[in-house]
Structure 1
Amino acid sequence: MRGASMVASTNGSTSSGLWTQCNALFRKNLTFQQKRNMRANLRLILFPVFLCLLLVLLQEKVNMELNKSSLKCGCICIDQDGDGECEKVCGIEYSDMEQVGTCSIPSPPEWPPLLQVPAPQYRAVRTDHLLSFGDLPNDSCISTGSCPITVLMTGNNQSFGESLARNMFSSSFNYNSSNGPADVVLGTTAHTKKSSFLELSFFSGLPVYYLQSQCRANSTFSISVPLASMTVEKEIGCIQCRHLWRNSSSDINNELYVGYKNGNSLKKINEILAGYDFLNSNISNYNVTILYNSTYKKDAGNGPIRLVRVPRSINLVSNAFLQLLVGPTTQMLFDFIKEMPKPETERKLDFSSLLGPLFFTWVILQLFPIVLTALVYEKQQNLRIMMKMHGLGDGPYWMISYTYFLAISLVYILCFVVFGSFVGLKFFTLNDYSIQFVFYFIYINLQISLAFLVAALFSNVKTVAVVGYITVFATGILGGFFFQFFLQDTSLPRVWIVVMELYPGFSLYGGLYEFSQYAFTGNYMGAHGMRWGDLSDNNNGMGHVLIIMTVEWVVVFFIAYYIDQVLTSGSGARKSPLFFLHNLKSNPSKSFRNPLSSFRLPSLQMKGSKVYIELEKPDIVQEASIIPVVSIPTFYQKERVELSLLKQDKSHAIVCDNLKKVYPGRDGNPEKIAVRGLSLALSTGECFGMLGPNGAGKTSFVNMMIGLVKPSSGTGYVHGLDIRSDMDGIYANMGVCPQHDLLWETLTGREHLLFYGRLKNLKCTVLTQAVEESLRSVNLLNGGIADKQVRKYSGGMKRRLSVAISLIGDPKVVYMDEPSTGLDPASRKNLWNMVKRAKQNCAIILTTHSMEEAENLCDRLGIFVDGRLQCVGNPKELKGRYGGSYVFTMTTSSNHEADVENIVKGLSPYAKKIYNISGTQKFELPKEAIKIADVFRAVENAKSRFVVQAWGISDTTLEDVFIKVAREAQPFDVLS
């Protein structure tokens, strides 16, 4: 026995190419929806404009406060020429502490070089701490403030190191006022700033010490430091400094690491002044490494980098080596430290750079929920499925949707940057625009890919809108009050920053933070912001951000596409997890099927003590498969479906081969068999009507044929294309009128038809004529209805538009699910005429509950009950096959009811009374037992004997047939 497969037929295909589909969707998205959403788009663009204006107003307010005379360099009026007229003279000498920062300093003051010494309460003492050594002083000195300062030493030659240490700190007081403070080693607990124009230790209440190996009681002296036209006096007290030897530099490093100031800590912290590793130094070799704690460079990782008091430590050990080598009277004097000259400056605070990372993160992220809700809206309203069923492929959908959202995002970002630059925000004007473009371009692509990914996991617009806006708000808050602290902490390994930036929101915040830092510093220093060369700087994190976002963009995009195809039904039936290997596998549509596979013996089912037999009716067997006959030579008589499969008959537009759909059981319920092995063949020009009660399986059958769900077994062919594997080709020649109208509320009827017409490859005047004809056929052309938005349509208008959409472009196969629901009689008549004209060139499957509609439109009918096709035939055949009786009605007075019954019994002893009320009686008369002429003669005879108020005889209606078949479709009890 040989089998045959269906061969794809593309003759007369209306399949549209990639660019045709792209053009249709692009016009619908950009032209139509943009016009309808102009106000929303304007509000979207105005949000960053409003935010930039707010920053400008805040910046102006800050500038006004900073430019007050009380914050400018102090001035005084002096009569310098003696002419009685004073002249304004400004300078540090006329300024207070708030004004001095803006003054011109052509000759900065000279300050004594100082060491950064620990405060008395933090000096190293002997405690139970893990790294404390026994040679440290007892912690009782903390209460009296007499703890010495500790300097640690190590090296290869301890005796040589000890000799150098003794020369570093004198044991006797030798201050010479003529030489100034260079003769003594001074130290302070006051911290430095980022400049040394003012030494805070001479203006604060914090003490200044001179360091010696031994201190005498009340050993203090005073030094004078000239500052412009004034002199600063400072009382100097003595503090003991001890040097201790350690075995290695790692021991020193550990003690330095542990010893740092922590004012919030209640435990005693051991601070070390410095450490010296003399390595291989000797009398002929000078090689020293200085170790110090750099904690004071920043406070807890925040704020500007401060100066560190290291130069004096270098000078001390250099002098010690020189004195050991030459003599104790020889030394290199370290007279002073001095800042570079400074011009008069203004106080500056770039507010946009200061708040930019937080505000601008919200500005850019607000595009995310907009894109997200647009994608989920199409899925929730089944609009994407509708487009797909009319020929729009996944490739064009992703390409145009992605490009559409990218264009909106680019315009949005462009307006944002241009307006921010126009109002003068340093955040934009100081940083290189090319870096900004690359950064924003990469991120908005990543953001759109993320929106596609998240949209694949949600199906409700309200839910996803809440998720989107919570993401926007939370990302800004977490970035500003959590992630930024890690960015500012230089002690945190960079790898942890990279890990956190894997979250796209933190990548965005990190890039904006880098822009803000460069803009803030550039504005303060009067320099430019970020340039491409700055990306090679180790402290610049923009390079990492760009790499992370680029990689995530590509990865997220492909993951989103994969999930959309495999884990979601937003675009129709789910695909196999290995769908991308489809071309490497054998095509299921090309496989051969045994023609005996459709032949089924009567099915026996046992339930308890009863046996049920399910018999296939002859018309169903003839439609579906093959009938065993007695003739041995012929063996089998090939019928419609088998003949089409064996001979590759292309005259049938639709062939359903033993289709079956079983839904798995859930929540403890058994599995549901929706379609039980349906076989059907339709020719072009035929309209097939499916009748059946609710829940019979009609919608499941249609959903399998249009690709919404995959069949559990069996298959179907549409012009030779298999519904299991070739739906993309089928969609190009298919039209669908779903049970519920799937329309864009903001598009007009004409715009809908133009869009779907372009998908069917209609162009120019052909498209215009097809749209006009479709609108006229469904009576939507008059009164300007065609150009009104669909949201203003009544239910009947939407229904007529859905029918017009299904038929535009002359599809080869059309599925209509209750197309006339909700229509008035006139509109229903117009719709029927339209369907009759359309079916001449296509095959139509129509489901309906209207028997009148079925009789007017359908060439053949199938009654579908409990997942199985119970009978097939044209309306007259079905009424003749399942009707078999006339309905005789007569109305008389109640006194003559018995007379009427006698008359009917005289016509046929098999007559059956089916209705009786107030003298009106109805009887079923078997057609084969009576003649119509006999009925008329009987009525005339009755009229001569009593008053007949009304009478009538009618044939069986299609509705009667439907009810009868549905009742008889239950399993027949044959044995108990």
Structure 2
Amino acid sequence: MADSSHGPASFMVQANALLRKNLTFQKRNLRTNIRLIAFPFFLCLLLVLIQHLVDNELDKPKNKCGCSCVDTRCETKVCGIEYSTLDQAFTCPVPHPVNWPPFLQIPAPEFRASRTDFTPFLDLPDDSCKMTGSCPVTIILTGGNQSLGQSLAGNLFMGAFSPNSSHIFSSLTSVLLGSYSEPKITNFLEPAFFSGLPVYIIQPQCAPNFSLSVPDPIASETRQQEVRCVQGLHLWRNSSSEVNDELYKGYQQGNSERKINEFVAAYDFLDTNEHNFNVSIWYNSTYKNDNGNPPNLVRVPRSVNMASNAYLQFFRGAGTKMLFEFVKEMPKPGIKLSLDFSSLLSALFFTWVILQLFPVILTSLVYEKERNLRIMMKMHGLGDDPYWMISYAYFLFISLTYMLVFVMFGSLIGIKFFTLNDYSIQFVFYFIYINLQISLAFLVATVFSKVKTASVIGYICVFGSGLLGRFLFHFFVEDASFPRGWIIVMELYPGFSLYRGLYEFGQYSFLGSYMGIDGMQWKDLSDSTNGMEEVLIIMFVEWMVVLPVAYYLDQVLALGSGVRKHPLFFMEKFWKKRSPSFRRPSLRRQGSRVFVQMEKADVSQEREKVEQLLLEPRVNHAIICDNIKKVYPGKDGNPEKFAVRGLSLSLPRGECFGILGPNGAGKTSFINMMIGLITPTSGTAFVQGLDIRTDMDKIYTSMGVCPQHDLLWETLTGREHLLFYGRLKNLKGAALTQAVEESLKSVNLFHGGVGDKQSGKYSGGMKRRLNVAISLIGDPKVVYMDEPSTGLDPASRNNLWNVVKRAKQDRAIILTTHSMEEAEVLCDRLGIFVDGNLQCIGNPKELKARYGGSYVFTMTTSSNQEDDVENLVRSLSPNANKIYHISGTQKFEIPKQEVKIADVFQAVENAKKMFTIHAWGLADTTLEDVFIKVAQGVQALNVLS
């Protein structure tokens, strides 16, 4: 492991290392990335296919303007509106529109004004007229001059009418026509004549009903239309407020479709006199569409003409008339019936398309936390800032590529949603939103630690946002009566902002395709009905807010990304400048200590050594643990769990310290505190003079870790792992190449091309060796190895031990293991950990001498001779202790000072003459015996307490 001679890696070096790793990782996942980028292709092709089917259906003869044969052989055809059916008329040319007489919008008989409990005016007809259909149509008047107003009202309704059969429509200009049929968006066909409802003539006194012959421009024939007379009634009110109140109450008491007490119109003549004609007109707007569809024509012009005509006749005589002859449709050319399917589906469909990126980004971020890959990178020197910059830039690149492919391919195949709207507006919209989406993914990732949970929530957001947008938000946007302020509030949810922007693009492209004009342009953003401008502002502001909030929560919550920082961590530099008393935590004792259990002399000696080092720190001590503790809070009624109970330890450079202990003793919790995975409950530790509570980012630059579980990218090779972590340790060029080669050779992953295979294809032992190589590359000053030889075969284990022996010469190593042989071979000192406490400490020989001052004598005989064996042992050593007994096999501890080995051999030879001995043995105490003895002693003490 080559030496890093340039100190900690700089920001750009870390960023370069992560970028190279990400690019290599994505190269290995090329198929997945191709599928992601190709997703827009398939969606565009699907849209084109559906559009083609729709166009084929609309291009059928039944949807085209009609044609008719001129000659018998049909060699010549004439086409036009007069040869079409009604459902074809929309697409046909209309060079000479029909002149229709103007109509008033009058109430249906059952809705005409009458006396009710909420309209108590006595001049209204009795409510019973609604039952018989005899209610008059009523006009309300008010103004500053009542006598003038009532005189003008007398001229509103015209007198007797005599139809002229030869010029029927011309004769209708002298009377007031009314209809309660629904108006349409065009005057090509007057619905009063083609709705099947009667046409009314409004007169002061009714004449007999009659019928008219009405020309049908479609069928080129005439049809009979029933014409009825209805009485016109005008009523005076004292003020405009009374008029407004009466109109409002008649509308308010009805449902949303119709009023139940309708008036034809209302007039306020204000200050009208002989020299001044000034009038305000109320009209019924119930028949106008306000739901986003093209608005119906409103029958208002005839109401205006009535007031003007009445004024002229009053001041200029009855012979003076302002005739209103007809209304007609504008001439128009024939059009091809078409429907832009992409624009029609745009908001919901494209919302789902763009939101598909959100769970992809979210699960990628959470995956690195769940697998502890991010903290692994952090423990080898990768800072948060380069991680955020490279990760954000990578996701932005993927998102931009995704959207560019989508827009470009959609444009190439002619999807009008893309081709009609200004591309610069589309770019700004998509760019801002994908940045907001990435920021949201980083924000949401801070609260998840499991990929499955994050994936489920991500896709719920995708489909939920689209469905809520289409079936809830969509109706609010199109409802003109819904407050615009609440629309903006709803757009604060990013899914609705995306939907609104796509909705605007769809509306403009749909109308552009329908009318043959361009879609949305920059000038259209100033339109009060266009919501794109507010959406762009909202999304940009949210992007600027969400991104720093996500970074802050990542540092403070730190779920899977290291030790949590103080909520005001960003104020640290400010505190240093403003407060002279501010100091980084120094090497000093952390709080008071209370020990319930008496410590062994060696443990107490180590604690005293730590206290002395805290007062007079020595440079050669790489690690100093000062009464470090970890307590897990109780859950579900269980008590607190004390994982580590006040550990004090000092470790100089060049020493390998081994931690032994049964499962659950607290070894891994201690290691996790030292490497920054969890925070101590109390106490602290100093690594190279830096406090693990506040300086982990700096500690990571000189630290190596071999975790208990393999933390690897399965698609990266062993060499690529080492290259990445070597760069994080500031290795470059030839030094990096040499370090990687040596690392692979040292752990036996070099030959046979093993180092160039993906780590997902490694065996468990090969993965462990790679993790050891990663922990040692770049010359880290402190290395933590949590059971490094687990799963290794004997040859590989011996080779690994040689690597660790060489590595410990100039660095401090803390190693946990269950292998007593490994501990004895590698460790300069050992500590036995039981129930969160350090029970003993020393080198292997000292521990065996201290806890193993006895021989272990084992003998196997028949069951009926066990007493003879025990008598034999008691004759050798009265203080011998039986430690094992099963089926004739017994094991005894014999104090060394009481026996000689020669005496034992002689006694066994004599015993063979008296009874049969199947096997026997005499052994010195092993490290395993010491471990078992210490662990059992603590457990027995816990039972007694």
Q: 2:134 is matched with which residue?
A: 146
Is 1:185 the counterpart of 2:176? The answer is: yes
* SS at 2:235 equivalent: strand
Q: 2:89 is matched with which residue?
A: 100
* SS at 1:878 equivalent: helix
Q: TM-score, normalised by structure 2?
A: 0.91
Distance apart, 1:260 and its partner CA: 5.9
Distance apart, 1:572 and its partner CA: 2.1
* SS at 2:680 equivalent: coil
> Residues 974 and 53 from structure 1, CA distance in 2 versus in 1: closer, same or farther, beyond 3 angstroms?
closer
Q: 1:470 is matched with which residue?
A: 460
> Residues 378 and 724 from structure 1, CA distance in 2 versus in 1: closer, same or farther, beyond 3 angstroms?
same
- What does 1:486-885 align with in structure 2 at a 5 Å threshold? 486-585=476-575, 590-591=584-585, 603=595, 614-625=597-608, 639=609, 641-885=610-854
Is 1:458 the counterpart of 2:448? The answer is: yes
- What does 1:98-497 align with in structure 2 at a 5 Å threshold? 98-128=87-117, 130=118, 133-173=121-161, 180-216=171-207, 218-220=208-210, 222=212, 234-257=225-248, 269-298=260-289, 301-497=291-487
Tell me, in whole angstroms, the C-alpha distance in 1 between the residues paired with 2:511 and 2:351.
20
Is the 1:721–1:730 Cα contact (8 Å) retained in structure 2? yes
> Residues 259 and 443 from structure 1, CA distance in 2 versus in 1: closer, same or farther, beyond 3 angstroms?
farther
Is the 2:159–2:175 Cα contact (8 Å) retained in structure 1? no
Give 5+ residue unaligned stretches, structure 2.
none
Is the 2:829–2:844 Cα contact (8 Å) retained in structure 1? yes
Is 1:42 the counterpart of 2:42? The answer is: no
- Percent sequence identity is 66
> Residues 87 and 946 from structure 1, CA distance in 2 versus in 1: closer, same or farther, beyond 3 angstroms?
closer
* SS at 2:825 equivalent: helix
Q: 1:174-218: per-residue Cα shift (whole Å, max 9, x none)?
A: 7675954322222222333323233222333122222223323x1
For residue 61 of structure 1, the aligned residue among 45, 53, 64 is 53
Tell me, in whole angstroms, the C-alpha distance in 2 between the residues paired with 1:247 and 1:33.
84
Letter in 2 for 1:16: A
> Residues 942 and 235 from structure 1, CA distance in 2 versus in 1: closer, same or farther, beyond 3 angstroms?
closer
Letter in 2 for 1:581: M
Distance apart, 1:578 and its partner CA: 2.9
Tell me, in whole angstroms, the C-alpha distance in 2 between the residues paired with 1:263 and 1:257.
10
Letter in 2 for 1:590: R
Q: 1:366-414: per-residue Cα shift (whole Å, max 9, x none)?
A: 2122222222222222222222222222222222222222211111111
Tell me, in whole angstroms, the C-alpha distance in 2 between the residues paired with 1:453 and 1:768.
38
Distance apart, 1:957 and its partner CA: 0.7
Deviates more, 1:963-972 or 1:656-665: 963-972
Q: 1:574-598: per-residue Cα shift (whole Å, max 9, x none)?
A: 3333333333447987346766967
Is 1:26 the counterpart of 2:22? The answer is: no
Tell me, in whole angstroms, the C-alpha distance in 2 between the residues paired with 1:115 and 1:619.
108
Tell me, in whole angstroms, the C-alpha distance in 1 between the residues paired with 2:504 and 2:929.
79
> Residues 932 and 515 from structure 1, CA distance in 2 versus in 1: closer, same or farther, beyond 3 angstroms?
same
Distance apart, 1:159 and its partner CA: 2.6
Q: 1:15 is matched with which residue?
A: 8
Tell me, in whole angstroms, the C-alpha distance in 1 between the residues paired with 2:562 and 2:338.
59
Q: 2:932 is matched with which residue?
A: 963
Distance apart, 1:359 and its partner CA: 1.4
* SS at 1:841 equivalent: coil
> Residues 660 and 893 from structure 1, CA distance in 2 versus in 1: closer, same or farther, beyond 3 angstroms?
closer
Distance apart, 1:728 and its partner CA: 0.7
Distance apart, 1:879 and its partner CA: 1.0
Q: 1:765-784: per-residue Cα shift (whole Å, max 9, x none)?
A: 32222222222222222333
Distance apart, 1:912 and its partner CA: 4.0
For residue 90 of structure 1, the aligned residue among 67, 79, 83 is 79
Is the 1:564–1:570 Cα contact (8 Å) retained in structure 2? no
Tell me, in whole angstroms, the C-alpha distance in 2 between the residues paired with 1:396 and 1:921.
64
Tell me, in whole angstroms, the C-alpha distance in 2 between the residues paired with 1:973 and 1:327.
120
Is the 1:456–1:568 Cα contact (8 Å) retained in structure 2? yes
Tell me, in whole angstroms, the C-alpha distance in 2 between the residues paired with 1:187 and 1:488.
31
Give 5+ residue unaligned stretches, structure 1.
1-9, 605-613, 626-638
Letter in 1 for 2:150: E
Letter in 2 for 1:71: N
Letter in 2 for 1:118: P
Tell me, in whole angstroms, the C-alpha distance in 1 between the residues paired with 2:866 and 2:326.
135
Distance apart, 1:715 and its partner CA: 1.1
Letter in 2 for 1:455: A
Distance apart, 1:530 and its partner CA: 0.5
Q: 1:320-364: per-residue Cα shift (whole Å, max 9, x none)?
A: 222222222212222222333211211111111111222112111
Letter in 1 for 2:616: K
Q: 2:63 is matched with which residue?
A: 71
Deviates more, 1:66-75 or 1:849-858: 66-75
> Residues 497 and 136 from structure 1, CA distance in 2 versus in 1: closer, same or farther, beyond 3 angstroms?
farther
* SS at 1:64 equivalent: helix
Is the 1:589–1:724 Cα contact (8 Å) retained in structure 2? no
Tell me, in whole angstroms, the C-alpha distance in 1 between the residues paired with 2:942 and 2:340.
90
Say how many residue pairs are matched. 935
> Residues 230 and 364 from structure 1, CA distance in 2 versus in 1: closer, same or farther, beyond 3 angstroms?
same
* SS at 2:410 equivalent: helix
Distance apart, 1:528 and its partner CA: 0.6
Letter in 1 for 2:93: S
Tell me, in whole angstroms, the C-alpha distance in 2 between the residues paired with 1:267 and 1:186.
21
* SS at 2:155 equivalent: helix
Distance apart, 1:160 and its partner CA: 2.5
Letter in 1 for 2:10: G
Question: Once superposed, what is the RMSD of the aligned Cα atoms?
Answer: 3.3
Letter in 1 for 2:612: L
* SS at 1:820 equivalent: coil
Q: 1:716-740: per-residue Cα shift (whole Å, max 9, x none)?
A: 1110111110111111111111112
Distance apart, 1:277 and its partner CA: 2.3
Tell me, in whole angstroms, the C-alpha distance in 2 between the residues paired with 1:527 and 1:16.
58
> Residues 38 and 158 from structure 1, CA distance in 2 versus in 1: closer, same or farther, beyond 3 angstroms?
farther
* SS at 2:329 equivalent: coil
Tell me, in whole angstroms, the C-alpha distance in 1 between the residues paired with 2:136 and 2:445.
67
> Residues 318 and 23 from structure 1, CA distance in 2 versus in 1: closer, same or farther, beyond 3 angstroms?
same
Q: 1:860-891: per-residue Cα shift (whole Å, max 9, x none)?
A: 11111222212111111111122111234567
Tell me, in whole angstroms, the C-alpha distance in 1 between the residues paired with 2:472 and 2:862.
94
Tell me, in whole angstroms, the C-alpha distance in 1 between the residues paired with 2:857 and 2:589.
48
Letter in 2 for 1:138: D
